[in-house]
Structure formats: C-alpha cells, structure tokens
Amino acid sequence: MNIETIHYLNIFLGIGAIILQFFSVITLALLFFGPKSNSFLDFVEKHFLIIGFLISLLASLFSLVYSEIIGFPPCELCWYQRVFIFPQVFIFGIALWEKDKKMIKYAFSLLSVGFVISVYQNFIYYFGNSSNVPCDASGISCYKHLVSEFGGYISIPMLCLTTFLALIVLLSVAHFYKKDNI
C-alpha cells in the first residue's frame, strides 16, 4: 500500500474511532443518568449482538490489515490485546446466530482484561518515555508512532482502547438497561 492510501485508511479509522467514543460516552450518560425508558438505549439493547459483532469483526480485520498488509509489526502489548479481541468475533457471532444474550459474562471477562492492557498501553504511549516501554526487548516498540492522526490523538493504541470501551459499553447496556439495580 502506498503512503496516501495508508493515510486515508488512518483518517477513516480515526473518524470511526471518534464516532465510537462519542457513542460510548452518550450511551453511558443515558444509561446511568438518563430516563428509565429511552428509545436510543432500546435500540442498542435490541441490536447489541449485531453491533458488537461488527465492531469486533472490523477491529480484528483492520488489526490484521495493519500488521499483514501494511507491514506495521504489532508490539508485545498489541499481541496481548489481540488475544482478547479476536475471540470476540466468534463469541458475538455465535451468540448472534443462536440469539443467545447470555454471552455477556463470557465476553465481558475477556474485554475487561483487554481493556486494562489497553489503558496501560495508552498511558505508556501518550505519557511514557522510550526508556520505560515494556516491549522494547522484542525490537518492536509501543513508543513508535506508526499511526498519528488528528494531532496525534488517534493512534493504534487509541483505536484498540476505543474498541474495548465500545464493546464494554454495549454489554453494559445489554446487562443493566431496564434493570432495577442501576
């Protein structure tokens, strides 16, 4: 892929990440501070399996596009996060096929671990220095800014954090919405 195509891909994914972040914040605000009945949350609760499947599928595909087609090697922390995001395609896919909403506890446990790793990686990426990066030993560093769009806000770690956050928010809506214990 040429540099211009990669730049447009980064812009496309960056806009998608910002939309998902906006979606996540609005959804959480409505879930915890909004009215008990809301048409937006009704829609999210009804379609969370297909939305989750699409988010996890696109995240997995574009992760592979970056590493296998563009040639950006994933660092050690990226590999750990892949361990927790790749199975989500199958968990959401099978749950969608079977119309099984009981998958929440299985998916949530994996997403939580991936989210913690992603928060750590983002902290290192945005606030750390090159001397304390944990994945320099492999020769591939989290500190290397391979994707930097919108003033450096959108990066590969931020794309991953956004994915984990959006999926956790979806599962939170499916689990907590219209329950008495909110």
pLDDT at 129 over 70: no
Beta carbons within 8 Å of 150's beta carbon, 6+ residues apart: 14, 18
Q: List alpha helices for 133-181, DSSP H.
A: 156-176
pLDDT band at 91 (very low <50, low <70, confident <90, very high): very high
pLDDT band at 181 (very low <50, low <70, confident <90, very high): very low
pLDDT score at 73: 80
Residue linked to tokens 């994914």? 13
The average confidence (pLDDT) of the chain is 85
Mean pLDDT throughout 134-141? 56
Residue linked to tokens 């984990």? 164
Q: Residue 111: how many CB atoms within 10 A of its CB?
A: 26
pTM above 0.85, yes or no: yes
The 10 Å CB-count burial string (b at 16+, else e) for 20-32 is: bbebbeebbebbe
Q: Do 147 and 75 contact (CB within 8 A), yes or no?
A: no
